Amino acid sequence: MSQQPIRVLTIIESASVTGPARNILQFAKMMRAGEGGLPPVEVTILTHRRGQQENALEVATREAGLPLINIAERGRWDRGVLPQLEKAIREHSPDILETRNVKAHFLVRKLGLQRAYPWVAWNHGYTAMNWLDRAYTQLDRWSLREVYRMVTMCKPFAEKLVRIGVPREKITILHNAVKPFLAPPEEEVLRVRRGLAVGEGEAVILSVGRLSSEKGHADLIRAGALLAKMPDVPAFRIVIVGDGPERESIGKLISKLGMEQRAALAGFQRDTKPYYAMATLVALPSHSEGSPNVVLEAMAAGLPIAANKVGGVPEILEEGVTGLMVPAHKPEAMAQTIQKLLLDHGLRARIGSAARERALADYAPEAYRRKLLGFYRETLASTGRTAWQAIAD
């Protein structure tokens, strides 16, 4: 006998398809069919639109075949959003109401919708890039007081939520997942190498991520400058894939340190597989992280990793087995760790192989899917209502 689906309405205010948005769409597609005694989950995406043109998130949602609800918005704090949002949610009448960012948390609490639906808020960490980011973070101190369940990416994020008043027993930690790595055609890899003028035999130190201050790319450039002066280090090129507000300052630092022939900014790349395929190792110089996709992607590709010991990284990597970790804000330590990997082929091979096995065993999409399905089922069951009862009401 087929089970009634769990109907989840996910509110996410984003015009672009960021890492969290990609994960939402991927697993919403996967969960439409029930499996192994778990019910199907029907996810509807609710987002805001400014103007008439469809944004990237809307396009991706439509291409994924997922239901989409648009709320018209004239500006960041358009009060006209409130009645539209309340009407849309009450008409949809979800079994679980889910919010994916600070503003969405605030709007649900402001409208008192947590009294009508089991409310699950997701936390992807906090940044302090400007006064607006800091103000949004403070909003959560009020908004999340009445959340039914919280989901976050790692233990440090969970501890931050406890400090702002979320009861520990309401918090669930779910690390991200990663697909098995499919190596691209060799000609694609060669095309990328030539485009970046990476010489034959040059080791490639790859870093993937948004060019913002908390990602620590300036530290990686400084580590590269130190590495270039170390004995016996082979020719290498630091390749940074990504774009963002720090691109200009990182470019200036490359010039200042004389690293023009040692570092390349590849910009945003929709397909990163050729970059992983040509990499010798992956470096993660971040000052803060949750459950970083780049670490999981490097593991799936069988690459050794030199990563700062921040956020959820120590929960994913096993020191000396699936990666090597160093303190944050320490370019000297990063340089020494990269040197160690570059000079020891056997170590690189052992770590890369163990990392791939760990990714397949613990972070495969199917494993995450079952955890997320189980979470939704437990959340609904804890209300004392089945999905059928929720729909009937």
Confidence band for 139, pLDDT divided at 50, 70 and 90: confident
What's residue 16's pLDDT? 75
Residue 393 has pLDDT above 50, yes or no: no
Position with higher pLDDT, 10 vs 127: 10
C-alpha distances (whole Å) from 362 to each of 261, 365, 377 are: 39, 9, 21
Residue 128 has pLDDT above 60, yes or no: no
List, in order, residues 6 or more apart from 228 with CB less than 8 Å away: 236, 259, 262
What's residue 76's pLDDT? 73
Lowest mean pLDDT among 67-81, 185-199, 248-262, 263-277: 67-81
Give the type of residue at 338: I
Distance CA 238, CA 342 (A): 13
Task: Select, from the ranges 50-59, 129-138, 232-241, the one with the highest average predicted confidence (pLDDT).
Answer: 232-241
Lowest mean pLDDT among 7-11, 153-157, 163-167, 383-387: 383-387
Residue 163 has pLDDT above 60, yes or no: yes
Distance CA 52, CA 339 (A): 52
Strand 96-99, strand 68-72: pairing? unpaired
In this prediction, residues 7-26 reach a mean pLDDT of 84
What's residue 202's pLDDT? 95
Distance CA 361, CA 359 (A): 6
Residue 388 has pLDDT above 50, yes or no: no
Residue 287 has pLDDT above 80, yes or no: yes
Give the type of residue at 197: A
In the predicted model, what is the mean pLDDT of the chain? 90
What's residue 1's pLDDT? 45
Distance CA 61, CA 40 (A): 18
From the CA atom positions of the chain, what is the Rg in Å?
Answer: 22
What residue has token string 């996709």? Answer: 293
Locate the domains of the chain by residue range: 6-177+365-392, 186-362
Distance CA 331, CA 283 (A): 11
Q: Do 6-177+365-392 and 186-362 agree at the fold level?
A: yes
What's residue 2's pLDDT? 56
What's residue 90's pLDDT? 94
In this prediction, residues 333-342 reach a mean pLDDT of 98
Confidence band for 130, pLDDT divided at 50, 70 and 90: low
C-alpha distances (whole Å) from 97 to each of 113, 116, 312, 355, 369 are: 9, 9, 26, 36, 19
Residue 370 has pLDDT above 90, yes or no: no
Please tell me whether the overall predicted TM-score, pTM, comes out greater than 0.75 for this model: yes
Q: Please, are residues 152 and 290 in contact by the beta-carbon 8 Å criterion?
A: yes
β partners of residue 356: none
Residue 392 has pLDDT above 50, yes or no: no
Encode pLDDT of 70-107 as tens digits: 988 887 778 889 999 999 999 999 999 999 988 899 99
Alpha carbon of residue 118 to chain centroid? 24
For domain 6-177+365-392, the question of CATH label 3.30.70.870 is answered with: no
What's residue 389's pLDDT? 44
What's residue 131's pLDDT? 64
Please give, one letter per residue, the 3-state secondary structure of the chain.
CCCCCEEEEEECCCCCCCHHHHHHHHHHHHCCCCECCECCEEEEEEEEECCCCCCHHHHHHHHCCCCEEEEECCCCCCCCHHHHHHHHHHHHCCCEEEECCHHHHHHHHHHCHHHCCCEEEEECCCCCCCHHHHHHHHHHHHHHHHCCEEEECCHHHHHHHHHCCCCHHHEEECCCCCCCCCCCCHHHHHHHHHHCCCCCCCEEEEEECCCCHHHCHHHHHHHHHHHCCCCCCCCEEEEEECCCCCHHHHHHHHHHCCCCCCEEEEECCCCCHHHHHHCCEEEECCCCCCCCHHHHHHHHCCCCEEEECCCCHHHHCCECCCEEEECCCCHHHHHHHHHHHHHCHHHHHHHHHHHHHHHHHHCCHHHHHHHHHHHHHHHHHHCCCCHHHHHHC
Of the candidates 102, 148, 147, 146, the one whose C-alpha atom is nearest the C-alpha of residue 124 is 102
In this prediction, residues 340-367 reach a mean pLDDT of 96
What's residue 390's pLDDT? 40
What's residue 387's pLDDT? 43
Per CATH, the number for 186-362 is 3.40.50.2000
Give the type of residue at 267: G
Residue 133 has pLDDT above 70, yes or no: no
What residue has token string 């991927």? Answer: 26
Lowest mean pLDDT among 47-61, 124-138, 219-233: 124-138
Q: How big is the CA angle at 164 (ends 140 and 287), to the nearest 5 degrees?
A: 90
Confidence band for 391, pLDDT divided at 50, 70 and 90: very low
